């Protein structure tokens, strides 16, 4: 009986330590997100939306990726922007908005935010899986991405899922603000080029209309940064 009571107390103590660590990690992550969105207000809500779409894609794939790690990676995938000069970000955004390729020097500096973000996060063991996916989330299925020029399935699955989720948010919110039918069409065009074609196909089979309405309801009631 005494041993059973000791085991119960030990289990409770472990649970408390784990909960405290989880709370500390979450608080640290949210602080980074708040810093990033304060510096780049255009990104407000972007990371939450990418996490939402990545999680639904992972569910459609029968959860090959740990949901908690994936959501963490999605929430923090742009944290490296904190170390990128404003002039580089501005030049990239202007080029993309004008449907032209940015200068190669700008492109390389811009894409370095993925590696920088991974380095920031990999300092903590609990974030290392997320950091690996963040490092490669701007690689392209056809090998034309960066920073490493990985191609096809050489790109980690987590990074490929993030790429699909982020591309959809760019199309519908961040830059293009396309209608849902137009975003579907454009995402299909990116399959096999920028995006894993199998993941893109699975994503496009999701009930995007209802999921988007659900997200907008959550945003209206909870706020884009909650």
pLDDT single digits (tens) 2-33 = 556 665 565 655 556 555 666 666 777 788 88
Higher-confidence position of 175 and 105: 105
Looking at CATH, the fold of the domain delimited by 2-222 is given as Hypothetical protein af1432 (1.10.3210)
* Whole-angstrom distance, CA of residue 173 vs CA of residue 137: 19
Statement: residue 89 has pLDDT above 80: yes
Statement: residue 153 has pLDDT above 90: yes
Condensed to tens digits (0 to 9), the pLDDT of residues 56-83 reads 999 999 999 999 999 999 999 999 999 9
* Whole-angstrom distance, CA of residue 171 vs CA of residue 187: 8
Condensed to tens digits (0 to 9), the pLDDT of residues 108-133 reads 888 899 999 999 888 877 788 899 99
pTM: 0.84
* Average pLDDT of the residues in 90-96: 79
Q: Which of 1-15, 135-149, 198-212 shows the lowest mean pLDDT across its residues?
A: 1-15
CB pairs under 8 A, 24+ apart, for 152-155? 152/196, 155/196
- Per the listing, tokens 């659900």 go with 214
Residue 43 near residue 131, CB atoms below 8 Å: no
Q: What is the mean pLDDT of the chain?
A: 86
In SS3 terms, 133-170 reads as HHHCCCCCCCCCCCCCCCCHHHCCHHHHHHHHHHHHHH
């Amino acid at each position: 009986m005494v041993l059973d009571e000791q085991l119960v107390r030990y289990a409770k103590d472990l649970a408390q330590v784990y909960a405290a660590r989880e709370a500390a990690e979450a608080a640290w992550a949210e602080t980074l997100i708040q810093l990033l969105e304060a510096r780049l207000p255009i990104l407000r809500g972007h990371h939450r939306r990418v996490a939402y779409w990545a999680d639904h894609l992972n569910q459609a794939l029968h959860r090959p990726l740990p949901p908690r790690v994936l959501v963490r990676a999605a929430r923090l995938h742009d944290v490296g922007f904190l170390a990128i000069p404003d002039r580089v970000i501005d030049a990239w955004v202007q080029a993309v908005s004008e449907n032209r390729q940015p200068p190669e020097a700008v492109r390389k500096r811009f894409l370095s935010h993925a590696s920088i973000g991974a380095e920031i996060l990999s300092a903590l063991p609990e974030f290392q899986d997320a950091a690996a996916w963040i490092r490669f989330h701007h690689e392209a299925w056809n090998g034309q991405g960066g920073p490493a020029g990985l191609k096809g399935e050489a790109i980690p699955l987590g990074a490929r899922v993030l790429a699909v989720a982020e591309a959809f948010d760019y199309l519908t919110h961040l830059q293009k603000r396309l209608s849902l039918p137009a975003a579907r069409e454009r995402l299909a065009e990116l399959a096999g080029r920028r995006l894993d074609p199998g993941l893109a196909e699975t994503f496009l089979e999701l009930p995007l209309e209802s999921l988007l309405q659900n997200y907008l309801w959550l945003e209206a009631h909870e706020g884009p940064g909650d």
